[in-house]
Amino acid sequence: MFRWAIGALALITVASRSVAATDAPKNLSIHAVAASVYVHLGAQADASLENRGDIANIGFIVGKRCIAVIDSGGTLQIGQQLSAAIRSVSQLPICYVINTHVHPDHVFGNAAFVGPDTEFVGHSHLPAAFAARRENYLNALTRVLGDTAVGSVVVPPTILITDTLELDLGERKLTLTAWRTSHTDGDLTIFDAASQTLWTGDLLFIERTPVIDGSVRGWLTTLDELSKQRPAHVVPGHGPVDPPWPQAIDAEAHYLNILISDVTSAQRNGRTLSQTVETAGLSERNQWLLFDNYNRRNVTACYTELEWED
Protein backbone atom coordinates (compact mmCIF):
# COMPACT_ATOMS: atom_id res chain seq x y z
CA MET A 1 0.00 0.00 0.00
CA PHE A 2 1.07 3.54 -0.67
CA ARG A 3 1.01 6.21 1.93
CA TRP A 4 0.12 9.83 1.42
CA ALA A 5 0.05 12.92 3.51
CA ILE A 6 -2.56 15.56 2.98
CA GLY A 7 0.09 17.87 4.41
CA ALA A 8 -0.73 21.48 4.94
CA LEU A 9 -4.15 21.34 3.34
CA ALA A 10 -6.80 23.15 5.27
CA LEU A 11 -9.33 20.94 7.04
CA ILE A 12 -12.72 22.52 7.32
CA THR A 13 -15.61 21.07 9.23
CA VAL A 14 -18.96 22.51 8.41
CA ALA A 15 -22.12 22.53 10.44
CA SER A 16 -25.07 21.23 8.48
CA ARG A 17 -28.32 23.03 9.11
CA SER A 18 -30.42 21.19 6.57
CA VAL A 19 -30.64 17.69 8.01
CA ALA A 20 -33.55 17.10 10.34
CA ALA A 21 -32.96 13.49 11.43
CA THR A 22 -31.86 13.55 15.06
CA ASP A 23 -29.30 10.78 14.71
CA ALA A 24 -27.70 12.28 11.60
CA PRO A 25 -24.15 13.56 11.96
CA LYS A 26 -24.17 17.32 11.96
CA ASN A 27 -21.25 17.95 9.66
CA LEU A 28 -19.43 16.87 6.55
CA SER A 29 -15.68 17.32 6.50
CA ILE A 30 -14.16 18.88 3.42
CA HIS A 31 -10.62 19.87 2.62
CA ALA A 32 -8.99 21.97 -0.09
CA VAL A 33 -6.97 19.91 -2.55
CA ALA A 34 -5.96 23.12 -4.32
CA ALA A 35 -7.21 26.71 -4.36
CA SER A 36 -11.02 26.63 -4.65
CA VAL A 37 -11.09 22.84 -5.11
CA TYR A 38 -12.71 20.98 -2.20
CA VAL A 39 -13.12 17.27 -1.54
CA HIS A 40 -15.01 15.18 0.99
CA LEU A 41 -13.52 11.72 1.35
CA GLY A 42 -16.05 8.91 1.71
CA ALA A 43 -15.44 5.89 3.95
CA GLN A 44 -13.53 2.99 2.42
CA ALA A 45 -16.42 0.60 3.07
CA ASP A 46 -19.66 -0.63 1.60
CA ALA A 47 -22.74 1.46 2.37
CA SER A 48 -24.09 0.77 5.87
CA LEU A 49 -26.17 2.35 8.63
CA GLU A 50 -22.91 3.24 10.32
CA ASN A 51 -21.53 5.26 7.40
CA ARG A 52 -24.98 6.31 6.08
CA GLY A 53 -23.94 5.61 2.51
CA ASP A 54 -21.12 8.16 2.74
CA ILE A 55 -18.57 6.04 0.86
CA ALA A 56 -17.58 7.96 -2.29
CA ASN A 57 -15.33 10.96 -2.77
CA ILE A 58 -17.41 14.01 -3.64
CA GLY A 59 -16.68 17.71 -3.84
CA PHE A 60 -16.87 21.00 -5.66
CA ILE A 61 -14.93 23.67 -7.54
CA VAL A 62 -15.57 27.38 -7.11
CA GLY A 63 -15.18 29.78 -10.06
CA LYS A 64 -15.66 33.55 -10.22
CA ARG A 65 -19.23 33.19 -11.49
CA CYS A 66 -20.52 29.90 -10.07
CA ILE A 67 -19.78 26.51 -8.57
CA ALA A 68 -19.61 22.99 -9.99
CA VAL A 69 -20.41 20.02 -7.75
CA ILE A 70 -18.62 16.81 -8.71
CA ASP A 71 -20.69 13.85 -7.50
CA SER A 72 -23.29 14.39 -4.84
CA GLY A 73 -23.00 11.44 -2.45
CA GLY A 74 -25.01 8.34 -1.67
CA THR A 75 -28.19 9.89 -0.23
CA LEU A 76 -30.21 13.09 -0.28
CA GLN A 77 -28.95 13.72 3.26
CA ILE A 78 -25.30 13.65 2.14
CA GLY A 79 -26.16 15.95 -0.76
CA GLN A 80 -27.74 18.38 1.72
CA GLN A 81 -24.67 18.25 3.92
CA LEU A 82 -22.44 18.87 0.92
CA SER A 83 -24.64 21.82 0.02
CA ALA A 84 -24.18 23.22 3.55
CA ALA A 85 -20.42 22.70 3.27
CA ILE A 86 -20.41 24.63 0.00
CA ARG A 87 -22.27 27.51 1.62
CA SER A 88 -19.60 27.74 4.31
CA VAL A 89 -17.14 28.54 1.53
CA SER A 90 -19.13 30.51 -1.06
CA GLN A 91 -22.55 31.99 -1.73
CA LEU A 92 -22.19 31.79 -5.53
CA PRO A 93 -24.85 29.84 -7.42
CA ILE A 94 -24.30 26.15 -8.09
CA CYS A 95 -24.49 26.05 -11.87
CA TYR A 96 -23.52 22.43 -12.48
CA VAL A 97 -23.84 19.09 -10.73
CA ILE A 98 -21.58 16.67 -12.59
CA ASN A 99 -22.09 12.93 -12.12
CA THR A 100 -18.96 10.93 -12.95
CA HIS A 101 -21.07 7.77 -13.50
CA VAL A 102 -24.25 5.93 -12.55
CA HIS A 103 -23.27 4.26 -9.26
CA PRO A 104 -25.55 5.12 -6.34
CA ASP A 105 -22.84 6.29 -3.94
CA HIS A 106 -22.03 9.11 -6.39
CA VAL A 107 -25.47 10.29 -7.50
CA PHE A 108 -28.21 10.01 -4.87
CA GLY A 109 -27.38 13.39 -3.36
CA ASN A 110 -28.39 15.10 -6.64
CA ALA A 111 -31.85 15.98 -5.34
CA ALA A 112 -30.31 18.40 -2.83
CA PHE A 113 -29.23 20.64 -5.71
CA VAL A 114 -32.35 20.77 -7.88
CA GLY A 115 -33.17 24.38 -8.71
CA PRO A 116 -33.56 26.89 -11.53
CA ASP A 117 -29.85 27.77 -11.65
CA THR A 118 -28.51 24.22 -11.79
CA GLU A 119 -27.80 21.94 -14.74
CA PHE A 120 -27.05 18.25 -14.21
CA VAL A 121 -24.22 16.93 -16.34
CA GLY A 122 -23.42 13.36 -17.33
CA HIS A 123 -22.17 10.95 -19.99
CA SER A 124 -24.56 10.47 -22.91
CA HIS A 125 -25.13 6.89 -21.70
CA LEU A 126 -26.14 7.99 -18.21
CA PRO A 127 -29.90 8.50 -18.78
CA ALA A 128 -30.35 4.93 -20.06
CA ALA A 129 -28.29 3.55 -17.17
CA PHE A 130 -30.40 5.50 -14.66
CA ALA A 131 -33.61 4.26 -16.29
CA ALA A 132 -32.47 0.64 -16.21
CA ARG A 133 -31.19 0.68 -12.64
CA ARG A 134 -33.27 3.26 -10.79
CA GLU A 135 -35.70 0.83 -9.18
CA ASN A 136 -33.08 -1.70 -8.07
CA TYR A 137 -30.83 1.03 -6.73
CA LEU A 138 -33.62 2.65 -4.71
CA ASN A 139 -34.75 -0.71 -3.31
CA ALA A 140 -31.20 -1.57 -2.28
CA LEU A 141 -30.66 1.88 -0.76
CA THR A 142 -33.81 1.56 1.35
CA ARG A 143 -32.94 -1.99 2.37
CA VAL A 144 -29.45 -1.03 3.57
CA LEU A 145 -29.98 2.49 4.90
CA GLY A 146 -33.64 2.52 5.97
CA ASP A 147 -34.85 6.00 6.97
CA THR A 148 -31.47 7.50 6.10
CA ALA A 149 -32.33 6.92 2.44
CA VAL A 150 -35.58 8.92 2.57
CA GLY A 151 -35.86 11.50 -0.20
CA SER A 152 -33.08 10.00 -2.30
CA VAL A 153 -34.21 9.95 -5.93
CA VAL A 154 -32.58 9.74 -9.32
CA VAL A 155 -32.09 13.14 -10.98
CA PRO A 156 -31.05 12.54 -14.59
CA PRO A 157 -28.63 14.81 -16.48
CA THR A 158 -29.84 17.82 -18.47
CA ILE A 159 -26.49 18.21 -20.30
CA LEU A 160 -25.07 15.11 -21.99
CA ILE A 161 -21.48 14.52 -23.06
CA THR A 162 -20.49 12.26 -25.94
CA ASP A 163 -16.80 13.20 -26.23
CA THR A 164 -15.59 16.34 -24.45
CA LEU A 165 -17.23 19.49 -23.14
CA GLU A 166 -15.83 22.65 -21.62
CA LEU A 167 -17.73 24.31 -18.77
CA ASP A 168 -16.82 27.84 -17.65
CA LEU A 169 -17.36 28.67 -13.96
CA GLY A 170 -16.09 32.23 -14.53
CA GLU A 171 -12.36 32.52 -15.18
CA ARG A 172 -12.21 28.80 -14.47
CA LYS A 173 -12.61 26.24 -17.20
CA LEU A 174 -13.40 22.59 -16.63
CA THR A 175 -12.86 20.03 -19.37
CA LEU A 176 -15.17 17.03 -19.11
CA THR A 177 -14.27 13.88 -21.03
CA ALA A 178 -16.62 10.97 -21.77
CA TRP A 179 -14.76 7.66 -21.95
CA ARG A 180 -15.34 4.37 -23.72
CA THR A 181 -16.98 1.65 -21.62
CA SER A 182 -14.52 1.14 -18.75
CA HIS A 183 -15.52 1.04 -15.05
CA THR A 184 -19.10 1.49 -16.34
CA ASP A 185 -20.55 2.36 -19.75
CA GLY A 186 -20.78 6.04 -18.78
CA ASP A 187 -17.61 7.30 -17.08
CA LEU A 188 -16.62 10.98 -17.07
CA THR A 189 -13.41 12.67 -15.95
CA ILE A 190 -13.16 16.34 -15.04
CA PHE A 191 -10.01 18.41 -15.44
CA ASP A 192 -9.74 21.82 -13.76
CA ALA A 193 -7.14 23.78 -15.75
CA ALA A 194 -6.63 26.48 -13.08
CA SER A 195 -5.38 24.01 -10.47
CA GLN A 196 -4.40 21.20 -12.87
CA THR A 197 -6.64 18.87 -10.86
CA LEU A 198 -7.97 15.69 -12.46
CA TRP A 199 -11.12 14.12 -11.00
CA THR A 200 -11.17 10.53 -12.19
CA GLY A 201 -14.46 9.29 -10.75
CA ASP A 202 -14.27 5.52 -10.35
CA LEU A 203 -11.88 5.10 -13.25
CA LEU A 204 -9.39 5.17 -10.38
CA PHE A 205 -9.79 3.29 -7.11
CA ILE A 206 -7.10 3.81 -4.48
CA GLU A 207 -6.71 1.01 -1.88
CA ARG A 208 -10.30 -0.19 -2.43
CA THR A 209 -10.86 -3.11 -4.84
CA PRO A 210 -11.76 -1.77 -8.30
CA VAL A 211 -15.17 -2.93 -9.56
CA ILE A 212 -15.70 -3.94 -13.19
CA ASP A 213 -19.20 -2.90 -14.24
CA GLY A 214 -18.27 -2.12 -17.85
CA SER A 215 -15.34 -3.60 -19.76
CA VAL A 216 -12.01 -4.79 -18.42
CA ARG A 217 -10.39 -4.31 -21.85
CA GLY A 218 -11.89 -0.86 -22.29
CA TRP A 219 -10.87 0.17 -18.79
CA LEU A 220 -7.23 -0.81 -19.41
CA THR A 221 -7.16 1.24 -22.62
CA THR A 222 -8.63 4.21 -20.74
CA LEU A 223 -6.09 3.85 -17.93
CA ASP A 224 -3.28 3.83 -20.48
CA GLU A 225 -4.53 7.13 -21.88
CA LEU A 226 -5.03 8.65 -18.42
CA SER A 227 -1.52 7.65 -17.38
CA LYS A 228 -0.11 9.94 -20.08
CA GLN A 229 -1.68 12.98 -18.44
CA ARG A 230 0.39 14.91 -15.93
CA PRO A 231 -2.04 16.53 -13.47
CA ALA A 232 -0.73 18.35 -10.40
CA HIS A 233 -3.56 16.90 -8.30
CA VAL A 234 -5.71 13.80 -8.61
CA VAL A 235 -9.05 13.09 -6.93
CA PRO A 236 -9.97 9.39 -7.24
CA GLY A 237 -13.52 8.08 -6.84
CA HIS A 238 -12.46 6.20 -3.69
CA GLY A 239 -9.43 6.59 -1.45
CA PRO A 240 -6.94 9.34 -0.63
CA VAL A 241 -6.35 12.27 -2.96
CA ASP A 242 -3.04 12.93 -4.70
CA PRO A 243 -1.86 9.33 -4.98
CA PRO A 244 1.54 8.69 -6.56
CA TRP A 245 0.99 9.26 -10.28
CA PRO A 246 0.95 7.31 -12.52
CA GLN A 247 1.91 4.48 -10.14
CA ALA A 248 -1.60 4.45 -8.69
CA ILE A 249 -2.92 3.72 -12.17
CA ASP A 250 -0.31 1.01 -12.59
CA ALA A 251 -1.55 -0.73 -9.42
CA GLU A 252 -5.13 -0.81 -10.71
CA ALA A 253 -4.05 -1.87 -14.21
CA HIS A 254 -1.95 -4.63 -12.64
CA TYR A 255 -5.02 -6.09 -10.91
CA LEU A 256 -7.09 -5.91 -14.10
CA ASN A 257 -4.29 -7.55 -16.10
CA ILE A 258 -3.98 -10.34 -13.51
CA LEU A 259 -7.71 -10.99 -13.89
CA ILE A 260 -7.38 -11.18 -17.68
CA SER A 261 -4.39 -13.48 -17.44
CA ASP A 262 -5.96 -15.80 -14.83
CA VAL A 263 -9.33 -15.93 -16.59
CA THR A 264 -7.79 -16.52 -20.03
CA SER A 265 -5.73 -19.38 -18.73
CA ALA A 266 -8.75 -20.89 -16.93
CA GLN A 267 -10.81 -20.70 -20.12
CA ARG A 268 -8.02 -22.34 -22.14
CA ASN A 269 -8.01 -25.16 -19.60
CA GLY A 270 -11.75 -25.63 -19.95
CA ARG A 271 -12.57 -24.40 -16.47
CA THR A 272 -16.12 -23.24 -15.87
CA LEU A 273 -17.07 -19.84 -14.49
CA SER A 274 -17.94 -21.32 -11.11
CA GLN A 275 -14.50 -22.95 -10.94
CA THR A 276 -12.72 -19.81 -12.11
CA VAL A 277 -14.24 -17.48 -9.50
CA GLU A 278 -12.59 -19.61 -6.80
CA THR A 279 -9.05 -18.92 -8.01
CA ALA A 280 -8.69 -16.00 -10.45
CA GLY A 281 -7.19 -12.80 -9.12
CA LEU A 282 -6.30 -14.23 -5.70
CA SER A 283 -2.63 -13.20 -5.92
CA GLU A 284 -3.90 -9.61 -5.50
CA ARG A 285 -5.94 -10.38 -2.38
CA ASN A 286 -3.64 -8.63 0.09
CA GLN A 287 -3.31 -5.49 -2.04
CA TRP A 288 -6.91 -4.30 -1.83
CA LEU A 289 -9.64 -3.49 0.70
CA LEU A 290 -13.01 -5.31 0.39
CA PHE A 291 -11.38 -7.81 -1.95
CA ASP A 292 -13.65 -10.73 -1.00
CA ASN A 293 -16.73 -8.59 -1.59
CA TYR A 294 -15.82 -7.81 -5.21
CA ASN A 295 -13.25 -10.14 -6.72
CA ARG A 296 -15.73 -12.89 -7.60
CA ARG A 297 -17.98 -10.36 -9.28
CA ASN A 298 -15.00 -8.99 -11.22
CA VAL A 299 -13.95 -12.47 -12.31
CA THR A 300 -17.51 -13.10 -13.51
CA ALA A 301 -17.55 -9.86 -15.53
CA CYS A 302 -14.13 -10.61 -16.96
CA TYR A 303 -14.98 -14.25 -17.78
CA THR A 304 -18.13 -13.22 -19.64
CA GLU A 305 -16.36 -10.47 -21.58
CA LEU A 306 -13.38 -12.63 -22.61
CA GLU A 307 -15.56 -15.61 -23.51
CA TRP A 308 -16.70 -13.76 -26.63
CA GLU A 309 -13.24 -12.84 -27.89
CA ASP A 310 -12.25 -16.11 -29.61
Q: What is the DSSP string of 12-28?
A: EEEE--S---TTS-SEE
Question: Of the ranges 116-124, 131-139, 201-209, 224-232, which one interacts with Zn ion (CB under 5 A)?
Answer: 201-209
Residue 172 interacts with Zn ion (CB under 5 A): yes or no: no
Report the alpha-carbon distance of residue 306 to residue 310 in Å, rounded.
Answer: 8
3-class secondary-structure state, position 294: helix
CB of 248 to Zn ion, least distance (A): 16
Which of 179, 206, 210, 173 is CA-nearest to residue 192?
173
Chain-centroid distance of CA 43 in Å reads 12
User: Which of 16-24, 31-39, 199-207, 260-268 is the region at the interface with Zn ion (rule: CB under 5 A)?
Assistant: 199-207
Q: Does 202 bind Zn ion (CB under 5 A)?
A: yes
R_g of the chain computed on alpha carbons: 19
Q: Give the residue with the Cβ less far from Zn ion, 185 or 284.
A: 185
Q: Nearer to Zn ion by C-beta: 95 or 154?
A: 154
Looking at beta carbons only, is 185 or 202 nearer to Zn ion?
202
Looking at the Cβ atoms of 172 and 208, the one nearer to Zn ion is 208
Of 107, 93, 105, 87, whose CA–CA distance to 38 is shortest?
Answer: 87
Question: What's the count of helices (H) and strands (E) in the chain, helices before strands?
Answer: 7, 13
Does the protein bind Zn ion through residue 71 (CB under 5 A)?
no
Please state the closest distance from residue 290 (CB atom) to Zn ion, in A. Answer: 13
**Smallest separation (angstroms) from Zn ion to the CB of 232:** 24
Least distance (Å) from Zn ion to the CB of residue 100? 8
| CA distance linking residue 131 with residue 134, whole number of Å | 6
Strand order in the sheet with 58-62: 11-15, 27-34, 37-40, 58-62, 67-70, 94-98, 119-123, 159-161
Q: Is 103 in the site for Zn ion (CB under 5 A)?
A: yes
Q: How many residues bind Zn ion (CB under 5 A)?
A: 2
CB of 201 to Zn ion, least distance (A): 7
- Residue by residue, DSSP assigns 225-263 as HHTT---SEEEEEES-SS--TTHHHHHHHHHHHHHHHHH
What is the contact mask toward Zn ion in residues 121 to 160, using x (rule: CB under 5 A)?
A: ----------------------------------------
Provide, rounded to whole angstroms, the least separation between the CB of residue 237 and Zn ion.
Answer: 6
What is the Cα–Cα distance from 281 to 291, expressed in whole angstroms?
Answer: 10
Considering beta carbons, is residue 103 or 172 the nearer one to Zn ion? 103
The 208-237 contact track toward Zn ion, x by CB under 5 A, reads ------------------------------
Residues that bind Zn ion (CB under 5 A): 103, 202
